[in-house]
Structure 1
Amino acid sequence: MQLWRAKARAFSIHLSISVLVAALAAALVFWLWFPPPFRALSGGRDLFLLVAGVDVVIGPLVTLVVFNPRKSRREKWLDFSVIGVLQLAALGYGLHTIYGSRPVHAVFEYNRFRVVHAGDIPPQFLARTPVGIKALPLSGPTWLSLRPLVGSEVADYTMQAMGGVEVAAHPELWQPYDAGRAAIVAAARPASQLLARFPQQADAIRQGVAQSGRAIDALRFLPIQGRKGVVWTVLLDATTAQPLAFVPLDSF
């Protein structure tokens, strides 16, 4: 009984430390790399829960198994050091994986917005990034638009998209968001159409309108496509095309 009480105490201490470290990692992931709504659009929440869940559970469980109060102080510190290093290495690898899958841009792709992730852009394409645009920003996605395609480019980029590299993932097409403002406003539709098309989602739509700070008649919308087919809707200022709010609704 004494042995298991000691093991339980060591387990609890290790679990508390692991939860604290996971909370700090969560702040990094969810407020810097995957700010809302991209934690849902880009799968950041699921990735982090998998990484942190395994790390938080396995470390304390190993401590529960190996801890023995009869061991010398040196043996205990050796056990804790090995477990801690392995646990931090696993967490570091997991965070590196999440970092490589973070959203870097929300790009207007002619009839929608597409979330572009760090891993979506072939490394050899990065040198094509226009001056003034950061290819792989660290602090959440930036809003961009694409220059118009001309001539045979339409077929060329369509074929590349079929091969797995979406049009929005080509840096040579990127331009500042403001440069595409007129095209964005023209492509977007009146937000009032959402209530007519999706009456069952009226509460979510009205909540998004309230968050935008605009009347519904002053808003337009476009779908925004994330990872693994996840689609939400972004509400835009009808005049400036400024993104104002998001609705968890596939509006295609």
Structure 2
Amino acid sequence: MIPISSPWKSRFSAAGIHLTLSLAVAAVAAWLVFSLWYPYPYREISGGRELFLIVVVVDVIMGPLLTLTVFNRSKPVRELRRDLAIISCLQLAALAYGLWTVSVARPVHLAFEIDRFRVVHAIDIPKDEIRMAPEGLQSLPWTGPTVLSVRDFKSEDEKLTSTLAALRGLPLSSRPFLWQRYEEAKPQILGTAKPLDVLKTRFPAQAGLIDAALKSATGSSVPSRPVAYVPMAGRDKFWTVLLDANTTEVIAFVPIDSF
């Protein structure tokens, strides 16, 4: 075993302390991201986990490595403090920028759109249209997505312009002027939703996954109320929403493309 010289011992010790502090900060950031901005299942559907891991891995590795490089007890104390302060500022700035990037891409609404649910992300909503949302929906939530629905078109002109925008990549559910309260679309949701048995018949190999999702959400894989399902579109993934077939309350989510 090759002995480590004293200067390197102090460097590794300083880098280790920096790594411990960085991991503690990363843990706090993880709570913020996964408990508030990207609660389950949106960390899977909206790519929150991947975005956060990129940010944190780069940030956690960068700081300790820089400390390992510059730490030297032979330096004047003022110079050493300056170097460590600069590293800390760079690391915090990188973390802040990363968290800002994750926040602007966060999911804000789960919208029922004609015949499906769609996850709406803050970055997808035209900033100049948010003021056109109905009262009570003009601010985007920071504590996880809320449910709403897309109303019927009021005119053929509105239908045409909205459809053309959707073909260009701007979904109807991202247009605030089309938003309405979730319960206002209850008849359309009930008309679209299909019985849970149909989902299990279509995907017999996933029956256990469906039962597990129900048990996790309700405490029983055999629900006491009728359950239906509606397909859901995320950023680049397709899941399924399980609903109370009477009230349209969202019960659970399963990673099945039921379109």
Report the TM-score when normalising by structure 1.
Answer: 0.96
Partner of 1:149, secondary structure, is: coil
- 8 Å CA contact 1:224, 1:231 repeated in 2: yes
Residue of 236, 243, 247 corresponding to 1:236: 243
Residue of 172, 187, 208 corresponding to 2:213: 208
**Residue type of the alignment partner of 1:250:** D
What CA distance in whole angstroms lies between the structure 2 residues aligned with 1:212 and 1:177? Answer: 20
**How far off its partner does 1:151 sit?**
4.4
Counterpart of 1:116?
A: 120
**How far off its partner does 1:2 sit?**
1.1
- 8 Å CA contact 1:191, 1:217 repeated in 2: no
**Residue type of the alignment partner of 1:94:** G
Counterpart of 2:232?
A: 224
Counterpart of 1:72?
A: 76
**Residue type of the alignment partner of 2:10:** A
**Residue type of the alignment partner of 1:170:** R
Partner of 1:137, secondary structure, is: coil
- 8 Å CA contact 2:130, 2:138 repeated in 1: no
Which runs of no fewer than 5 residues in structure 1 stay unpaired? Answer: none
- 8 Å CA contact 1:212, 1:235 repeated in 2: no
**Residue type of the alignment partner of 1:48:** F
Q: How many residues align?
A: 251
**How far off its partner does 1:97 sit?**
0.7
Larger mean Cα displacement after TM superposition, 137-146 or 216-225: 216-225
What CA distance in whole angstroms lies between the structure 1 residues aligned with 2:73 and 2:202? Answer: 66
Counterpart of 1:56?
A: 60
Once the two structures are superposed, residues 99-121 of structure 1 have per-residue CA deviations (whole angstroms, 9 ceiling, x without a partner) of 11111110000111101111101
- 8 Å CA contact 1:12, 1:60 repeated in 2: yes
Which runs of no fewer than 5 residues in structure 2 stay unpaired? Answer: none
Report the TM-score when normalising by structure 2.
Answer: 0.93
Q: CA RMSD in A?
A: 1.4
Partner of 1:105, secondary structure, is: strand
Once the two structures are superposed, residues 179-230 of structure 1 have per-residue CA deviations (whole angstroms, 9 ceiling, x without a partner) of 1112111111111111111112122111122234362871001111111x21
Residue of 89, 107, 111 corresponding to 1:107: 111
Partner of 1:168, secondary structure, is: helix
Counterpart of 1:94?
A: 98
Counterpart of 1:186?
A: 191
Residue of 15, 19, 23 corresponding to 2:19: 15
Q: What's the % identity of the aligned pairs? A: 46
